[in-house]
C-alpha cells in the first residue's frame, strides 16, 4: 500500500448524498419520492421576498445501504439541461441511474408520476427520461 492509499483509508471518504439544483425543490422532491417509493424528509419553503432563498427539500432512503440521500436545492438561475448535449447548450453534467426489474413497467410508472420519455434512446436496455424540471435520468434493467 502506498502513502496515497494509506491516507485515503485513514480519511474514510464516503458519498452519502447528491444535491440537485432546481427551480422547484418541493415539486422535485415529491416527484422522486413518489417515483422511488420514499418519503420527503425535509421540505423548507421559499423565503418570501428573498429570491435567492427559494427553498430546499430532501428524500432519504430507510438506510444508507438503500441508496444516497437526494437533496433538492433552489437555483435562482436554473436553466433546463439540454439532452442529448448540443454545442453551446446548457448540458446535463450528471444524471441519476436507477436500476429496475422490468423496464417497460418502470417507464410507465415514471411517466404516470410526471416524467417524460426522451425522444433519443441510445441503448436497448436503458431508457432516458426527464423529471418535471427537465433533468435527465436513466432507468436500466437490473442484471441478475
| Predicted local distance difference test score (pLDDT) of residue 7 | 62
The pLDDT-based confidence of 82 (bands split at 50, 70, 90) is confident
Q: Which residues pair with 100 in a beta bridge?
A: 141
Q: Which residues pair with 126 in a beta bridge?
A: 140
Q: What does the block give as the cell for 106?
A: 418502470
Please, what are the domains in the chain? 1-77 (3.30.720.120), 79-144 (3.10.180.10)
* DSSP tag of 111: H
Ranges of beta strands (E only) in the chain are 17-22, 40-44, 56-59, 69-74, 96-100, 116-117, 126-130, 136-141
The chain-wide mean pLDDT, for the chain, equals: 90
In Å, how far are 82, 95, 123, 134, 137 from 120, measured between CA atoms?
A: 12, 15, 9, 14, 13
Helices (H) and strands (E) in the chain, counts: 3, 8
CA 22 from chain centre, in angstroms, equals 10
Residues 96-137 pLDDT 10s = 999 999 999 999 999 999 999 999 999 999 999 999 999 999
| Predicted local distance difference test score (pLDDT) of residue 15 | 87
Dihedral angle sign, alpha carbons of residues 30, 31, 33, 37: positive
The upper half-sphere exposure of residue 23, i.e. CA atoms within 13 Å in the direction of its Cβ, equals 10
In angstroms, the CA 5 to CA 1 distance is 6
The pLDDT-based confidence of 6 (bands split at 50, 70, 90) is low
Residue 8 scores a pLDDT above 60: no
| Predicted local distance difference test score (pLDDT) of residue 9 | 61
Alpha carbon distance, N-terminus to C-terminus of the chain = 33
| Predicted local distance difference test score (pLDDT) of residue 60 | 96
Amino acid at each position: 500500500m502506498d502513502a496515497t492509499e494509506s491516507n485515503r483509508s485513514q480519511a474514510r471518504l464516503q458519498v452519502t448524498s447528491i444535491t440537485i439544483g432546481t427551480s422547484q425543490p418541493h415539486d422535485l422532491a415529491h416527484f422522486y419520492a413518489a417515483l422511488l417509493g420514499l418519503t420527503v424528509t425535509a421540505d423548507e419553503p421559499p423565503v418570501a421576498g428573498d429570491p435567492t432563498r427559494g427553498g430546499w427539500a430532501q428524500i432519504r432512503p430507510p438506510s444508507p445501504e438503500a441508496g444516497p440521500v437526494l437533496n433538492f436545492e433552489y437555483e435562482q438561475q436554473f436553466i433546463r439541461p439540454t439532452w442529448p448535449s448540443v454545442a453551446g447548450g446548457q448540458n446535463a453534467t450528471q444524471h441519476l441511474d436507477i436500476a429496475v426489474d422490468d423496464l417497460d413497467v418502470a417507464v410507465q410508472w415514471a411517466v404516470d408520476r410526471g416524467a417524460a420519455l426522451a425522444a433519443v434512446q441510445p441503448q436497448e436496455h436503458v431508457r432516458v427520461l426527464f423529471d418535471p424540471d427537465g433533468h435527465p435520468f436513466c432507468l436500466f434493467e437490473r442484471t441478475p
